[in-house]
Amino acid sequence: MRILVSNDDGLDSPALHALVESLVRNHDVTVAVPSRQCSGTGHGFTFTRPIEVRETELHGATVLVVDGFPADAVKYAICTREKPDVVLAGINPGENAGVCAPYSGTVACAREAALWGLPAFALSTLGMQDGHYRAIARWVTHLLLDPPPTPLGTFWNINFPSHAPASWGTPRLCAGASAMFRDEYKPAADGFWQLEGFKPPEAIAPDSDDDWLRRGHPTMVPHRVDATDHDLLNRVAWKPPTAFVQDAP
């Protein structure tokens, strides 16, 4: 398979190295990553200035280091190289479950690929040891042999628990949790404030990704790039105001 691997942490990420090292044994791998740490930058992209791209290699795979956001790296690779069969984003040290997903540069990589009609998987983990990364990389090789349905305009957000890989439960297909962070800004210096927050355990819905993760199960949540609320659109009886038309000179 032709595989594009990206992330939001850049080329120095040990988790990226573990994934690429595993994939290059049997696949044609290209890597496209931002030139700097871009965690939490969401789906930003660069169009107000040119982006610098330099080429290097990792475990024999061509690497494109892009001076932009994570989505820039994926966009550039798709637009300038032969299109991949699948895009893998990660492995991200730190979870991107539930409400983390919209903020995540890792998830943005997969979403960008889905916008181009490509199957994509975002990979993140609460466990941040080398053993976690290598276990996930091995799991991904099996996933590629029998991937889940990925209709046009969809992608999968996959998260792994902090538990030792030997004790992981069965991976769960589930919905993303909607429990919002309890955020607090604490003074860091004169005029500077540091964000700290956590997901309140009591607010996490049963059978959601956050719930299964804390119980030791990997989770897989299907996402759509179309953010339209079709249910509301099809049943709403409200009509927008038209005063601006009537009041026009």
pLDDT digits over 194-213, tens only? Answer: 999 999 999 999 999 999 99
Show pLDDT as tens, one digit a residue, over the chain (249 residues).
999 999 999 999 999 999 999 999 999 999 999 999 999 999 999 999 999 999 999 999 999 999 999 999 999 999 999 999 999 999 999 999 999 999 999 999 999 999 999 999 999 999 999 999 999 999 999 999 999 999 999 999 999 999 999 999 999 999 999 999 999 999 999 999 999 999 999 999 999 999 999 999 999 999 999 999 999 999 999 988 887 765 555
Strands (E), the chain: 2-6, 28-34, 53-58, 61-66, 86-93, 120-125, 154-160, 172-173, 182-189, 192-198, 219-224
pLDDT score, position 199: 94
- Residues 17/99, Cβ–Cβ less than 8 Å: no
pLDDT score, position 13: 98
60: left (phi over 0), alpha (psi -120 to 50) or beta: left
Distance CA 97, CA 116 (A): 23
pLDDT score, position 249: 56
> How does strand 2-6 pair with strand 28-34?
parallel
Burial per residue of 45-70, b for 16 or more beta-carbon CB atoms within 10 angstroms, e otherwise: beeeeebebeeeebbebebbbbbbbb
Burial per residue of 86-100, b for 16 or more beta-carbon CB atoms within 10 angstroms, e otherwise: bbbbbbbbbbbbbeb
Domains and CATH numbers, the chain: 2-246 (3.40.1210.10)
